[in-house]
Amino acid sequence: MRQVVGKSTIDLDAVGLAALRARFPDGMLVDLGTGDGKHVLAVARRRPDALIVGLDAGPAAMRKTAARAAAKPAKGGVPNAAFVWAAVEDLPAELTDVTEVHCLMPWGSLLRAFVEPNEHVLRGVAGRCRPGADFLLTLNLHAWRPPVPEVGDTAEPTPDSIAELAATYAAAGWQLDSADYLDAAGIAELGTSWTKRLGSSRSELDVLALRGTING
């Protein structure tokens, strides 16, 4: 598994990951498509006894945040934050027994995988999770206004229209328990640069949060 530590990329094998996890007894949260990783740092600081892993297919955006996390705690380092260079479609073999999954404001192929939805991708993630793992997925609804290519001809999801989506998720081991619009405070709590940029360019930002458990 390729771990990003500032400007460097190192190999982290199953033994090394197990040793890292042993330091944080409250499980391992994986943030899919983490981008610049700001959400990882925010969650890691709130939950110091859990290992928070940001995963992204492009390492460049998360290098600066990874460097901050790797600093000494006295200088703002966050020892329970880690960053992995990998695609969701090809998860590292070492990444198993995940206890929580986040995917915030996905874009590109990752957005397409969640709104089609792509059962293969969903099953792949579910297969790496501990039964009963929680998940949080947030969707930028402006991707449907007008529709970007990644959402195709899918209808904009709403809390009242997710039954079909929920059925496909369930077939892949994802139990969708709730779908709610986030208010401004909820969006700010996500701690992502993407939501800040989107919010600054619009008078109102509409985000739908899907929550549930994974029992793959």
For residue 192, the model assigns a pLDDT of: 84
Which of 1-10, 109-118, 168-177, 191-200 shows the lowest per-residue confidence on average (mean pLDDT)?
191-200
Q: The pTM is what?
A: 0.95
CATH of domain 103-216: 3.40.50.150
Query: Span 85-100, mean pLDDT?
Result: 97
| Other Cβ atoms closer than 10 A to 108 | 13
pLDDT in tens, 23-69: 999 999 999 999 999 999 999 999 999 999 999 999 999 999 999 99
Q: How far apart are the first and last CA of the chain?
A: 22
**The pair of three-digit structure tokens given for residue 165, joined into one six-digit string:** 């989506």
Residues 186, 209 contacting (CB under 8 angstroms): yes
pLDDT in tens, 183-193: 999 999 998 87
- CA of 203: how far to CAs of 162, 182, 196, in Å? 26, 15, 12
- Separation CA 5–CA 9 (nearest Å): 6
For residue 114, the model assigns a pLDDT of: 97
- Separation CA 142–CA 100 (nearest Å): 26
Tell me where in the chain the CATH 3.40.50.150 domain(s) lie. 1-96, 103-216
Domain 1-96 class? Answer: alpha beta
Beta-strand pair 129-140/98-104: parallel
